Chains A and B, each alone.
Chain A
Amino acid sequence: SQKIEQNSEALNIQEGKTATLTCNYTNYSPAYLQWYRQDPGRGPVFLLLIRENEKEKRKERLKVTFDTTLKQSLFHITASQPADSATYLCALLYNFNKFYFGSGTKLNVKP
């Protein structure tokens, strides 16, 4: 099965800085990769999707990159705000229908 690694330690940053989260995977590259936000006691909420033939995607203050050589995706939040504090999950799609999720990285943005 696929192994997906996200930094299990919380990321603590100051408001206004850029937060960078990492998602590493083993074995073969997925068809595409998604990033989700999850708040305590709630279901994940979709943020961004990037395909294996795309290098970078942006949406407002969010940016995701996908390097199939390094088997890694980076998720950036620029000008971070305390409201961005949450757990961020990456999800990889394999075999057209099956999603594998990482364990998530908790982001704490301090005012």
Chain B
Amino acid sequence: NAGVTQTPKFRILKIGQSMTLQCTQDMNHNYMYWYRQDPGMGLKLIYYSVGAGITDKGEVPNGYNVSRSTTEDFPLRLELAAPSQTSVYFCASSSAPSGTHGEQFFGPGTRLTVL
């Protein structure tokens, strides 16, 4: 089991560029999440998905888009990158957030810098 994998590990973007952050999990989890973590801060939920084809906004969705065509993959798209999107991005998955376990499994993160 690889768990949750994210690519790339690091990326530098110029203002106005676009990119897709990849996230894959091999635990057959229905729930997947994207968070961003700014220095010294907690994680803020960007988008989440409760299953293939179903996504919803989190706390800070502006400037991002997601899709969920399969159970395994949950890519995050940044359009027109801005310096305010400089952050570390974490993807996570869970079998059932309000179920018996509910724990989230996190990927290693993608460190993004927008210059």
User: Which residues of chain A have a CB within 8 Å of any CB of chain B?
Assistant: 1, 4, 6, 8, 31-32, 34, 36, 41-46, 49, 89, 91, 93, 96-104
Contacts and interface: CB of A to CB of B under 8 A. Distances in A.
A31 B43 CA distance: 19
Given A34-B102, A98-B48, A1 B59 contact: yes
* 6 nearest A-B pairs in the assembled complex, by CB-CB distance: A43-B106, A46-B103, A101-B42, A103-B42, A101-B43, A102-B42
Contacts of B98: 31-32, 93, 96
Given A96-B97, A98-B58, A46 B105 contact: yes
Contacts of B74: none
Give the interface SS of chain A, mostly helix, strand, loop or mixed.
strand
Interface in B64-109: 90, 92, 97-98, 101-109
Contacts, number: 66
Residue of B35, B40, B43, B105 ringed by the most chain A CB atoms within 10 A: B43
Band of interface residues on B: 20 to 34
A101 B97 contact: no
Contacts of A44: 43, 90, 104, 106
Interface in B2-34: 4, 31, 33
Contacts of B50: 97
